Each structure stands twice: as C-alpha cells, then as structure tokens.
Amino acid sequence: MAAASKTAIITGGAQGIGKGIALNLLTQGWNVAIADIDSEAGADCIKEFELFSDAVIFCQTDVTDEISVQSFVDQSVERFGSIHGLVNNAGIADPYNDPVEKLSLNDWNHKLATNLTGYFLVTKHAVPYLRKTRGAAVNIASTRVLQSEPNTEAYVASKGGIVALTHALAISLGPHVRVNCVSPGWITVSDWQKESQRSEPNLSDRDHDQHPAGRVGTPNDVAGLVAYLLAEEAGFITGQNFIVDGGMTRKMIYAE
C-alpha cells in the first residue's frame, strides 16, 4: 500500500481522455485505480503503466451495474487505503442516434444509464471516502452541452445532466467535498486507444484551423485541468463547468 500518496479513482480510464488523466496523475505521484468495461484495454493500460506498477490497478467495471461499481470502490480502498479524488469519465463516446421519432426507448435509456447514471452510482459509493479525506470529484461532460448536431438527443441530454448533477453535488457535498465539471471539445484520442485499435491521428489543416488555439485538442489538454481541480490549490473552486475546446465554441463558423 502506498499510503503516503493520494489516490484517485477514474472510470473509463483505460483509453482516450481517461487514460490521459490517469497517466498525468501517476506522473504527479498519485495512486490511481482505473475502472473500465473493456478488459483488453485495461490489460494494455497496465502494461504501458508498468513504471508505476505499485501505484496503479485496473478493475473491470460496468458503471451501470451498482454491484460492479461497489466492487470497484471496495477494491480501490482495499489496495490504497483511501480515496482523495474521483474522476467520472466512463461513457458511450458515439454522440449520434436515430432520428428522434425513430429513437428507441432502449437506446435512449442505455446511453443515459452509461453516461449519466453511472456518474451517480460511482459518486454514491465513493462519497463516504471522499468526505473523510476532504477530497474532490471531477465529472467529464462535453461542449455538446452548449451546441448540437442533428440526431444527438440522448448523448446531449446525458451530458447536460452531468453539468447539472455537478452543481447539485457541489451544494450537497460541500464543504467537505468539492465537485467540478470539465467539458472537452474536439479531442483526438486515436493514439490513446487500446493497442489493437490504436492509430495516428488523421487531421487536416482545416480541422485545426476551426480552433482559435490553432489545433485540435489532446487528452493531455484535459488531464492538466483535471489534475488541478483535484489538487488543494483549487480549494476555492466548486460547482463549476470548465470548457476545454481551444476556443471552438466561441468561433462563428459559416457554411461554405
């Protein structure tokens, strides 16, 4: 047990943005418990994080299943002794659905169960430990809470729910636990996937030029902010939603 270090638990932490957050925290000396439904991705992740083998564990977890969530939290505490930070990140990344008049209730419920209810379940079981350590939680939403494409109702509703859940939790859990939200924009994650699906980003100049910052984002852009929000330096920040999108939601783009 690495009792001298702080411990963060991260859902959806074996690939993409979650993996970037996990690596960032590990390099800063945190213990990290990674939950992910994809066991192949989890095994790859643990292999890649071999340098931090004493400080990281992987638990195959279905965030829509309360028993599975409880097991993940229990394993994390058993291994590291406490929880100081929670990052809710697991979700279905595909934003598109059938046209609303054809969207099935099952598809709607599945996306909300994973992208929103999962956040509630992990938070519910982590809160007793976060209270003891006066810890912090960060929920990962999306800039789609501010703008939409056609046929994305289930995804957008789930992400909007995360932002609202964040400020509700901040009020309910304060002052002992801080809760904030990060809404990423266009983040390229193809090179942060499990080995069998990994590829180099295929991005055009036009893709980058849509962003006032001059480029598409990477998981590192999100990870740095998440690490700060979990840290004591952010002790006066709670209930907020931070946009990480290279300025894209501020730029007017006209059809050509």
As a whole number, the mean pLDDT across the chain is 96
The per-residue pLDDT for 18 is 98
- Token digits for 167? 């400020």
Spatial CA neighbour of 137 closest among 2, 10, 5? 10
The whole-number pLDDT of residue 1 equals: 37
Q: Answer whether residue 74 is part of any domain.
A: yes
Instruction: Provide the residue range defining the domain that includes 229.
Output: 7-250
**pLDDT (tens digit per residue) in 178-187:** 999 999 999 9
Residue 2, in any domain of the structure: no
How is 163-225 classified by DSSP, letter by letter? HHHHHHHHHHHTTTSEEEEEEE-SB--GGGS-GGG-------HHHHHTSTTSS-B-HHHHHHH
H/E stretch holding 32: strand 31-36
Inform me whether the pLDDT recorded for 202 exceeds 60: yes
Question: ∠139-141-142 over CA atoms, to 5°?
Answer: 155
| Number of domains composing the chain | 1
Average pLDDT over residues 3-26: 93
Res. 122: pLDDT tops 80: yes
- Judged against a pLDDT cut of 90, whether residue 256 lies above it is answered with no
Quickly tell me which residue has 């979700």 as its tokens.
91
Please give the pLDDT value at position 254.
Answer: 80
3-state secondary structure of 161: helix
* Sheet strands side by side (includes 241-244): 56-60, 31-36, 7-11, 85-88, 136-140, 178-184, 241-244
pLDDT of residue 2: 41
Residue 25: inside a domain, yes or no? yes
For residues 180 and 225, is the Cβ–Cβ distance under 8 A? no
What confidence tier does 4 reach under pLDDT thresholds 50, 70, 90? low
pLDDT tens-place string over residues 75-119:
999 999 999 999 999 999 999 999 999 999 999 999 999 999 999
Mean pLDDT of 183-210: 93
Amino acid at 41: A
Q: Is residue 1 part of a domain?
A: no
Q: Is residue 256 part of a domain?
A: no
Query: Both tokens of residue 171?
Result: 């009020």
Positions annotated as catalytic residues are 155
Task: Note the pLDDT tens digit of each residue in 161-176.
Answer: 999 999 999 999 999 9
Q: Is 255 part of any domain?
A: no
**Residue at 150 is within a domain:** yes
- Asked if pLDDT for residue 234 goes beyond 50, the answer is yes
State the CATH number of the domain containing residue 11: 3.40.50.720
Read off the amino acid at residue 2.
A
Q: What CA–CA distance (Å, rounded) separates 10 from 18?
A: 7
